[in-house]
Amino acid sequence: LFGACYSVLTTKGVHPAGVRPGYLRSPHRLSGAAIADRATARDGTMGCTQSKHDASEDASNGTMLQAVLGHLGQLDGDAKLDHTTMSIVYDIFKDMDKDSDGTVDKSEFEKFLSTHPAAKTLWEGEGKASMSRSLKDAIADERLSFYELVAAFAPEAPHHAGDASGIGGLESLISDAAWGYRGYNGPENWALLSPKNKLAATGKEQCPVDILPSTCVPCPAVDGDASLAYGVGPGTILNNGHTIQVNWKGGSMSVGGTTFEAAQFHFHTASETTIRGMQYPLEMHVVHVTPGEPMRIAVLAVLFETRTDVEEVFLSQFFDQLPSHVAHDQDDAETLTRPVDLSSISLDGGYYRLRGSLTTPPCTEGLEWSVLASPLPILPAQLETFRKALGKTVRNFRPTQPLNGRSITWVCACQA
């Protein structure tokens, strides 16, 4: 139970991304009844009903804790807390942490309960109205940080591989910790979800990045030896809970004399890579790997811009099969009804080169990144179709990361 993210967040004076300030009692506090009403109004998952009333702050905190503990007491098996409840738990944790060290020990918790009789009664109760026994035992034995609670009760995505999905040499590096793009398990907290994700915070070659063309280093033709050998190949498609991914092995990419075989491509909206700070509506990453050990990875990033004045020939090959249901693993991928042709993707318009990382956990570094300078078109209706397929995961992009002294090279069409 409970983990390390609260410590980092509170020392920086911020709260998890996506947690609405209204749920945090500083500087403005909602009453516990109001929060409980919001939660029960959704679908009754809080496991309690509170009537609206004006209450003192102590009563407010007690009511809020009573609502949350009542819900936790009813959890069993694979049941998990939803995002709204976790926002409330975060708020309660801050109130318990009197010394602001990012942890709660037994004395702090007992002091909290002593000022909230309703919560104390619930905590000491038995059966469905009581807190889970494992959490009781843990808080009695050690200091607990907020993420240990998140790790125990956070909602789980069926698949966590992200950019590494379907790449056998990388999947062993993937943590079981559920991650997402907002809230307590969003990009700001990825490194706190698992030690496997530490590079998300400590890495020096993280992606995505913002590209300023005026600061890029022109690359002589002898060094700009990237080339594409894309053709037509069969594919399978799945919604892995974080993106739409097409497993495709119909071509390769050569970078610096090394050939990388295409493994899959997937999408982010809005774009993760930015040009002069501007996001595009969609970005595709074609992920390539080398055979054998050690495996190396190359990513070709393709930006898309909304157009209505040109014919769109690439996305239309498979966008009519975008799945909205989330697959539990690669075995749930659907076979595309026709082969996918990537030969329309070309380096002729120029491209940017840099060393980078996966943009999803575990944020592995040492990747060869190439970003096409010329965006491909996407029709407005196609963009809407993609967003509908992603559902709640829409806006699945990681914010740009510091260059940390890295240079970005520019290879123009005449040099490629």
Annotated active-site positions, please? 242
CB 64 within 8 A of CB 92: yes
Two structure tokens written together for 296: 């190396």
Three state DSSP letters for 156-179: CCCCCCHHHCCCHHHHCCCCCCCC
Report yes or no: 301 and 282 within 8 Å, Cβ to Cβ: no
Residue 256, sorted as left (phi over 0), alpha (psi -120 to 50) or beta, turns out to be left
Close Cβ partners of 251 (under 8 Å, ≥ 6 residues apart): 228, 229, 230, 231, 233, 262, 342
Cis peptide before 27 (omega within 30 of 0): yes
Give the three-state DSSP class for 87. Answer: helix
DSSP state of 302: E
Q: Give the rounded distance of the alpha carbon of 51 from its chain centre.
A: 36
Write out the H or E segment, with its range, that includes residue 261: strand 258-268
Cα 182 to Cα 313: distance, rounded to the nearest angstrom:
33
Q: CA 223 → CA 129, 254, 260, 298, 366, distances in Å?
A: 67, 12, 17, 16, 18
CB 385 within 8 A of CB 319: yes
